[in-house]
């Protein structure tokens, strides 16, 4: 793939980050992975993404070490994609982009994020105003339906995410 | 322009943010604007971006309210692009992406960011561990050359950014 070739002369770390996650759909795949989505069909249905694009994004993210492919069934063979430590480290950037998006005209919060141990809503970069410090660990983030959420009853991922849960908690739906 | 049409069914605020800043080059234009770059030729030389792409990105960012066009010379008429409050709010996301990029193989820091009032290096989302709270105001962020910086002597923006300065401090070079 010809990812990021145009950025070759841009040596800054933002440009390098965009070489990996700047392609269309990539950050939404990572978002879903952080929400606990692991399986091809679940990404497919929840993202409404063309199959070839999803396959390419999953492969590129796996090669970049953001996702890790794990066999979860042998007959027939089936893999799932689990977000790695490198992928988890993208959460503050995604949270910051999402918080910024909330300031755009007409955008309603689809999800709320709360620091589970103390119940405080997360700040714009995933920090907790009550507990202090930088972004809190992902395992401690509760994800709840927001005021703008209108779950799609035909989408099992959308249904799962309509209930309070933790980031990274696996969303497992039946194979289609 | 057909920006973000594919994301139409993705109503979350991250997807909405990507509709505006997810196009190729866009976040690097915003990055340079936050570094103080304001003029077409300066973006052009510093980014090494095709002219048509730069013009399209500047127009889209202006329409989205991330940049504001200001006339700085009447004869001949010349405009510059100044980052708005909405654009400034992208800093935590850019800082988080840049901090993430530093964790990629072989990436050296091109720039360091420091909380000017106390001299503390900024955290991964632009927060100050010494002063606490979320991201510090951009005016208080000092931007310094990093270990990996190799300034381009032919690029006046690169030269200007090789010296310590503040975020948003205008980079003004002579018209080409």
Band (A132; pLDDT cuts 50, 70, 90): confident
pLDDT in tens, B20-76: 999 889 999 999 999 999 999 999 999 999 999 999 999 999 999 999 999 999 999
For chain B, give the percent of residues with pLDDT over 90: 71
Contact A47/B125, CB-based, under 8 Å?
no
Residue A11 predicted with pLDDT over 80: no
Task: Give me the pLDDT at residue A9, please.
Answer: 56
Write down the pTM of the prediction: 0.91
Band (A7; pLDDT cuts 50, 70, 90): low
Closest in A110, A126, A132 to B13, CB measured: A110
Query: Does residue B123 belong to the interface with chain A, where contact is any CB pair within 8 Å?
Result: yes
pLDDT in tens, B143-155: 999 988 888 888 8
Long-range CB pairs of A58-64, under 8 A, 24+ apart, other chains included: A58/A29, A60/A1, A60/A3, A60/A20, A60/A23, A60/A26, A61/A20, A61/A26, A61/A29, A61/A30, A61/A87, A64/A20
pLDDT in tens, A106-120: 888 889 999 999 999
Buried b (16+ CB within 10 A) or exposed e, A12-38: bbbbbbbbbbbbbbbbbbbbbbbbbbb
**CA-based nearest residue to B11, from A17, A156, A147:** A147
Closest in A28, A86, A100 to B15, CB measured: A28
Q: Tell me B175's DSSP state.
A: -
Rounded average pLDDT over A124-135: 87
Residue A5 predicted with pLDDT over 80: no
Tokens for B150, please give them: 């190799």
pLDDT in tens, A29-50: 999 999 999 999 999 999 999 9
Rounded average pLDDT over A144-159: 88
Q: In what order do the strands lie in the sheet with B165-166?
A: B120-121, B111-115, B141-145, B165-166
* CA dihedral (A86, A89, A91, A92) positive or negative: negative
Task: Give me the pLDDT at residue B4, please.
Answer: 38
Tally of CB atoms within 10 A around B45: 19
pLDDT in tens, B102-141: 999 888 888 999 999 999 999 888 989 899 878 899 999 9
Contact A15/B123, CB-based, under 8 Å?
no
Tell me the count of A-B CB pairs closer than 8 A.
Answer: 155
| Cβ atoms A33, A87 nearer than 8 A | yes
Contact B13/A102, CB-based, under 8 Å?
yes
The complex's ipTM?
0.90
Task: Give me the pLDDT at residue A172, please.
Answer: 79
Task: Give me the pLDDT at residue A174, please.
Answer: 66
Residue B6 predicted with pLDDT over 70: no
Contact A14/B132, CB-based, under 8 Å?
no
B24 or A58, greater pLDDT: A58
Closest in B86, B129, B132 to A103, CB measured: B86
Residue A8 predicted with pLDDT over 90: no
Query: Does residue B48 belong to the interface with chain A, where contact is any CB pair within 8 Å?
Result: yes
Helix (H, G, I), strand (E, B) or coil at B3: coil
**CA-based nearest residue to A27, from A103, A123, A127, A101:** A101
Residue B7 predicted with pLDDT over 80: no
Tokens for A160, please give them: 């799962």
Task: Give me the pLDDT at residue B153, please.
Answer: 86
Query: Does residue A152 belong to the interface with chain B, where contact is any CB pair within 8 Å?
Result: no
Lowest mean pLDDT among A36-50, A78-92, A147-161: A147-161
């Amino acid at each position: 793939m010809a990812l990021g070739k145009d950025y070759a002369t841009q040596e800054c770390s933002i440009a390098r980050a965009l070489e990996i996650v700047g392609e269309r759909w990539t950050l939404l795949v990572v978002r879903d992975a952080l929400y606990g989505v692991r399986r091809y069909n679940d990404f497919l249905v929840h993202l409404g993404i063309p199959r070839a694009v999803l396959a390419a994004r999953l492969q590129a993210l796996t090669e970049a070490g953001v996702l890790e492919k794990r066999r979860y069934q042998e007959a027939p063979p089936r893999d799932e994609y689990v977000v790695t430590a490198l992928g988890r480290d993208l959460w503050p950037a995604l949270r910051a982009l999402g918080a910024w998006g909330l300031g755009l005209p007409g955008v309603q919060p689809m999800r709320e994020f709360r620091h589970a141990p103390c119940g405080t809503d997360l700040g714009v970069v995933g920090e907790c105003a009550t507990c202090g410090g930088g972004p809190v660990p992902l395992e401690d983030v509760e994800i709840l339906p927001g005021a703008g959420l209108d779950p799609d009853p035909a989408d099992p991922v959308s249904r799962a995410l309509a209930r309070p849960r933790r980031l990274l908690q696996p969303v497992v739906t039946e194979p289609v």
